[in-house]
């Protein structure tokens, strides 16, 4: 079914203003199986001839219990217009599918891209991942745990390792108990067996535990007025990465809340275009822009 979805006729033009070049998309492509669920992705690429391009997997947020792949439609199309193949993915949600289900699905999507590199126009050696909020947590888990939490979703002969990770407003230590909205979402995500198991279950699902010197470069973007995932999460994670020599860029969005909307800010801040420019520059630097 996936191969059928990748035929040229399945790709339609993406109507978004301001793209550097025309982009086409194929939607609702199954990329594997998680339990009884068949997760799907939307694929974006430059119009015209298919060639070996760097790729980015986009992972939506929503507290691990909501959200949808269409959230990153515009940004995925923008990145695709710069010469990338982009896949925006759905994944199993909590509490029906607790950790590590979502991480397994996201890794399966990376493997699927490599398994279909020729049809997708992907250079299998240049794959990155980007996520926001809960999606940032999953993007970090994908980047930090190659060979772990792989699941049985499909394309087992291909690796899930990535060369770069972009994380917007991500929670990286799920053992925290403040603010309550984050603590409650994390508990639903990990589903501990009881109060005594909460800390261990949350720590097992925390990217902070898996930081090693072999991790790929990270770009962390976080608003300093975020009241859902405090900016201290990004600060501590950046420090842990730097301590073991992992290249990390940390963009603190002044006056930005969890969605980078201004809180008590001058009218010109925060600058969403500047954040996007930082993301594009990071991806170009670590994955290599084509064209």
Q: Does 60 participate in catalysis according to the annotation?
A: no
Neighbours of 251 (CB within 10 A): 17
213 is catalytic: no
Over residues 88-120, the pLDDT tens digits come to 999 999 999 999 999 999 999 999 999 999 989
Give the strand pairing for 23-30 and 12-13: antiparallel
Query: What is the C-alpha to C-alpha distance for residues 134 and 173, in angstroms, rounded to an integer?
Result: 12
- d(CA 63, CA 179) in angstroms, rounded, equals 13
Number of domains in the chain: 1
Would residue 258 show up in a list of annotated catalytic residues for this protein?
A: yes
- DSSP states along 147-192: TSS-TTSS-TTS----SEEEEES----TT---SHHHHHHHHHHH--
Give the range with max mean pLDDT: 3-17, 165-179, 258-272: 165-179
32 phi and psi angles, rounded to 5 deg = 165, -160
pLDDT of residue 156: 96
Q: Which of 116, 137, 258, 286 is catalytic?
A: 258
> Distance between CA atoms of 263 and 261, rounded to whole angstroms?
7
* Residue 245 in tokens: 């020599």
Whole-number pLDDT of residue 260 = 80
Is beta strand 53-59 parallel, antiparallel or unpaired with respect to 122-132?
A: parallel
Residue 244 CB coordination number (10 Å): 11
Structural domain of 279: 2-288
User: Which band of pLDDT confidence, cut at 50, 70 and 90, is reported for residue 209?
Assistant: very high
Per-residue pLDDT band for 1 (boundaries 50, 70, 90) equals: very low
Measured CA to CA in angstroms, residue 284 lies from 16, 53, 56, 290 at distances of 21, 11, 11, 9
Looking at every residue in the chain, the average pLDDT score rounds to 93
Catalytic-role residue among 133, 155, 160, 206: 133
pLDDT one-digit tens code per residue, 79-96: 999 999 999 999 999 999
Q: Which of the following is catalytic: 5, 94, 226, 286?
A: 226
CATH code of 72's domain: 3.40.50.1820
Helix count (H) and strand count (E) of the chain?
Answer: 9, 9
pTM: 0.95
Q: What is the pLDDT of residues 3-49, one digit of tens each?
A: 556 776 789 999 998 898 999 999 999 999 888 889 999 999 999 87
């Amino acid at each position: 079914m996936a191969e059928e979805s990748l035929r040229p006729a399945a790709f339609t033009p993406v109507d978004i203003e301001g793209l550097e070049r025309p982009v086409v998309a194929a939607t609702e492509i199954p990329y594997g199986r998680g339990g009884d669920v068949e997760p799907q992705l939307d694929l974006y690429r430059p119009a015209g001839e298919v060639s070996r391009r760097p790729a980015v997997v986009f992972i939506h947020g929503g507290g691990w219990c909501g959200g949808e792949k269409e959230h990153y439609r515009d940004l995925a199309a923008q990145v695709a217009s710069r010469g990338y193949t982009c896949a925006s993915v759905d994944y199993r949600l909590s509490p029906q599918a607790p950790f590590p289900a979502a991480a397994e699905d996201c890794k399966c999507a990376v493997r699927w891209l490599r398994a279909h590199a020729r049809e997708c126009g992907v250079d299998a050696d240049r794959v990155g991942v980007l996520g926001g909020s809960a999606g940032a947590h999953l993007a970090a888990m994908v980047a930090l745990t190659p060979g772990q939490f792989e699941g049985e979703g499909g394309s087992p002969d291909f690796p899930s390792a990535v060369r770069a990770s972009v994380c917007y407003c991500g929670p990286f230590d799920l053992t925290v108990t403040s603010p309550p909205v984050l603590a409650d979402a994390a508990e639903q995500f990990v589903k501990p067996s009881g109060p005594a198991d909460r800390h261990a279950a949350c720590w097992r699902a925390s990217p902070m535990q898996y930081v090693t010197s072999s991790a790929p470069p990270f770009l962390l973007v976080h608003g300093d007025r975020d009241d859902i995932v405090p900016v201290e999460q990004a600060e501590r994670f950046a420090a842990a990465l730097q301590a073991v020599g992992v290249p990390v860029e940390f963009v603190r969005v002044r006056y930005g809340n969890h969605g980078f909307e201004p809180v008590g800010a001058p009218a010109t801040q925060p600058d969403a275009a500047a954040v996007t420019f930082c993301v594009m520059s990071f991806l170009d630097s670590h994955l290599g822009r084509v064209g």
